[in-house]
Amino acid sequence: SEADRTDRIEAARSELGDDVIVLGHNYQRREIVEHADFIGDSYELSKRAANADAPYVVFCGVTFMAESADIITDDDQTVILPSMEASCPMAGMAEALQVDSAWAQITDVVPDADIIPITYMNSYADLKAFCAEQGGLVCTSSNAHHAFEWALERGDKVLFLPDKHLGENTAHRIGLADSIVEWDPWDPENTTTDEAIQAADVVLWDGYCQVHERFRVDHIESVREANPDANVIVHPECRREVVDAADVAGSTSTICETVANADPGETWAIGTEIHLTNHLQRWHPDVNVLPLCGDACMDCNAMRQIDPNYLTWVLEELVDGRERNVISVAPEETELAQVALDRMLEV
C-alpha cells in the first residue's frame, strides 16, 4: 500500500540521513514530490544539488536533468535517477551525431556566415558540449531571448535546438518572426532550400514536446467561455498561436510564482504538464486553478517513469551500500557542457 511504501522510504531516508538529498521536478507525481527535499524546475534543482553537501543526489526527473545535475555538482557527488526509462522524447529528437551531420550541411550552404548553435536545457550533455565547441551556449525557457541576443551580437545566425516552438516563440519575442527557417532532420531530401537558409536569421531544429504541442487555441477559447474571468498561462514549449492567445507564457517556475502570487478567488488556467497543475491546486486552494485541457491528456510519459517503487528501491539499495542507476557524464563532455552553461549565466 502507499502507506507501507511511505514508511519504507522514510525508514531508508532516516538511515541515510544527510548523505542523500531527494529532488523532485515540478512535473513529478504527488507520491514523489511528497518525499522531495526540494521541488522546482530543472535548472533550479541542479543548483540545489550543487549547493548541498550530500554525497548522493536522487533526482526525480528525466535523464537530461540528472545529467545537468551531474555536470553542475562536485565530482564527489553521485547523481541517481530512479528509472533509466525516464528520457524526455524532445531531448532525444536532437542526437549529437544527427546534429553533427546537419551542421556540416548547413554550414556548407552558408560558408561565410558565423552560425551560433543554442541548445535548450532539454538536451543531452553531448549536444551541450557540441554547442560549446562551436561557440554556442545553453538556455532555459526563461532566458532564451537573452541567449538569442547574445548569439546574434557575436554571429550572423542562430541554430536553435531541439524545440522549434520555444525557438519560434523566442524569435517572435525579439522581432525575428519573419526570419525563421525550419530544419527537418528526418526528411531524407531535406526540403529546406539553400536560399531559405541564406536568408534566415534563425534556423529551427524540428523537435517538439509531445505534451505541450497538444495544447490548442480552442482549449483557451473553451476555458474562457466557461470562465470569463480566467487568466491563461502556458509554457513557451506550446505552439506560437497558443502562446499568442494566452495572457502569459512562462517557465514552470514562472507558472508556480504566478499562481503563488495570485489574489484569493482569481482563476488561472494552466497550459503545462498536468501534474504541476494538480500540485498548484493542492498548494493554493484559495486560487481557482484549472487545467487548460480537461483533466487527463497532458501528462508526460517520461516523467511518469519515476514510479514511487523505484524511488524506494534506489534508496534501500543505497542503505545496503549499492549505487543503482548512476548518471555520470564523461569528464571531457562535462567540461565542455559546463562552458555552454557558464555562457548561459553570462547572458
CB of 2 to ligand SF4, least distance (A): 24
Q: Which is nearer to ligand 13P, 39 or 315 (CB)?
A: 39
Q: Is residue 35 part of an annotated ligand binding site?
A: no
- Alpha-carbon distance of 341 to 334, in angstroms, equals 10
Q: How do strand 267-271 and strand 231-234 relate by DSSP bridges?
A: parallel
Q: How many CA atoms lie within 13 A of 271 on its CB side?
A: 33
Phi/psi of residue 36, nearest 5 degrees: -85, 140
30 by DSSP, 3-state: which?
helix
Residue count (the chain): 347
Note whether 127 binds ligand SF4 by CB under 6 A: no
Note whether 209 binds ligand 13P by CB under 6 A: yes
Note whether 119 binds ligand SF4 by CB under 6 A: no
Q: Which of 122, 141, 251, 338 binds ligand SF4 (CB under 6 A)?
A: 122
Q: Is residue 209 part of an annotated ligand binding site?
A: yes
Q: Which is nearer to ligand SF4, 132 or 298 (CB)?
A: 298
Q: Which is nearer to ligand 13P, 23 or 315 (CB)?
A: 23
Tell me whether residue 305 is exposed, middle or buried, using C-beta atoms within 10 angstroms of its C-beta: 0 to 12, 13 to 18, 19 or more.
middle
Please choose, from the candidates 46, 45, 5, 1, the residue with its C-alpha nearest in 3D space to the C-alpha of residue 26. Answer: 45
Q: Which of 73, 78, 143, 252 binds ligand 13P (CB under 6 A)?
A: 252
121 contact choice in ligand 13P, ligand SF4, none (CB below 5 to 8 Å, kind-dependent) = ligand 13P
Which DSSP letter does residue 233 get? E
Amino acid at 59: F
Could you tell me the three cell numbers for 215?
Answer: 495544447
Q: Is residue 297 part of an annotated ligand binding site?
A: no
The answer to whether the peptide bond before residue 162 is cis (omega within 30 degrees of 0) is: yes
Please choose, from the candidates 204, 307, 224, the residue with its C-alpha nearest in 3D space to the C-alpha of residue 271. Answer: 224
140 contact choice in ligand SF4, ligand 13P, none (CB below 5 to 8 Å, kind-dependent) = ligand 13P
What character string, x for contact with ligand 13P (CB under 6 A) and - otherwise, covers 125-154?
A: ---------------xx-------------
CB of 45 to ligand 13P, least distance (A): 8
Binding site for ligand 13P (CB under 6 A): 41-42, 121-122, 140-141, 209, 237, 251-252
Binding site for ligand SF4 (CB under 6 A): 62, 88-90, 122, 209-211, 273, 300, 302-303
